[in-house]
Structure 1
Amino acid sequence: MQRAGGGSWRIEMDDSQVMALVLWLRDAAGMTPDLDPAIPPLEPAVPVVPELAALADPHATAQWTGLWLGLWEGRLEEWFALRMLTPPGFELLDRSPELRGLVAAGYREASHWTSTHRPIGRGGSSGRALAMSKEPGAAVKQLEGELGRRANDFEFAIKVLPVAGRVFWLGPDGRLVVSETLMRDGRAFRALLHDVLSGVV
Structure 2
Amino acid sequence: MHHTGGPGWRITMDTCGPMLMALYLRDVSGLVGAGSPALSHVAPAVTAADHTMLTSGVGGTGALRDQWEVWWTRLLRGFPENPQDISPPDFPELAGMPALQRVAHAHYGAALTWSREQSQLYAMMAAQRETLGGHKILADLVQNREMELGRSARDFTLTIVEVPLSEQRAWFIEPNRLIMSSHLLDDQEIFRSYVQPVVELLV
**Smaller-chain TM-score bracket:** 0.7 to 0.9
Matched, 1:174 2:176: yes
Superposed CA offset, 1:66-86 (max 9, x none): 2122223x1x44675534x12
Shift of 1:100: 0.8
Q: 1:140 to 1:33 in 2, by over 3 A?
A: closer
- 3-state SS of 2:183 partner: helix
Runs of at least 5 residues in structure 2 that lack an aligned partner in the other structure: none
Equivalent residue runs for 1:37-76 within 5 Å: 37-49=37-49, 54-55=53-54, 57-58=60-61, 59-72=63-76, 74=77, 76=78
Matches within 5 A, 1:46-195: 46-49=46-49, 54-55=53-54, 57-58=60-61, 59-72=63-76, 74=77, 76-77=78-79, 80-83=82-85, 85-118=86-119, 121-123=122-124, 125-130=126-131, 131-195=133-197
* 1:34 Cα offset (Å): 4.4
| C-alpha contact (below 8 Å) 1:144/1:151 kept by paired residues | yes
The secondary structure found in structure 1 opposite 2:171 is strand
Q: Structure 2 vs 1, CA of residues 81 and 13 (structure 1 numbering), >3 Å: closer, same or farther?
A: closer
Query: Relative to 1, partners in 2 of residues 1:185 and 1:171: Cα closer, same or farther, differing over 3 Å?
Result: same
Show the counterpart of 1:11: 11
* Residues 119/143 of structure 1: CA separation in 2 closer, same or farther (3 Å cut): farther
Measured after TM superposition, the shift of residue 11 of structure 1 is: 1.0
Aligned counterpart, 1:32 = 32
Task: Please tell me the residue identity of whatever aligns with 2:110.
Answer: E
The residue matched to 1:26 in structure 2 has which SS?
A: helix
- Structure 1 CA distance for aligned equivalents of residues 6 and 140 of structure 2: 11
Deviation of the 1:54 alpha carbon: 4.9
Please tell me the root mean square deviation across aligned C-alpha atoms, in Å. 2.6
Separation in structure 2 between the aligned mates of residue 78 and residue 149 of structure 1, nearest angstrom:
29
CA distance change for structure 1 residues 132 and 19 in 2, over 3 Å: closer, same or farther?
farther
| Counterparts in 2 of 1:89 and 1:134: CA distance versus 1, 3 Å | farther
Per-residue deviation at 1:119? 8.3
Cα distance change on mapping 1:78 and 1:96 into 2, 3 Å: farther
Partner SS, residue 22 of structure 1: helix
State percent identity of aligned pairs: 29
How many residues are treated as equivalent by the alignment?
197
Q: CA deviation at 1:145?
A: 3.0
The aligned amino acid for 1:159 is V
Tell me how far 1:25 sits from its aligned partner.
0.7
CA contact (8 A) 1:20 1:161 kept: yes
Distance 2:189 2:180 in 1: 14
Contact 1:29 1:55 in 2 (8 A): no
Query: Residues of 1 paired with 2:134 and 2:177: CA distance?
Result: 17
| Larger displacement relative to structure 2 (105-114 or 167-176) | 167-176
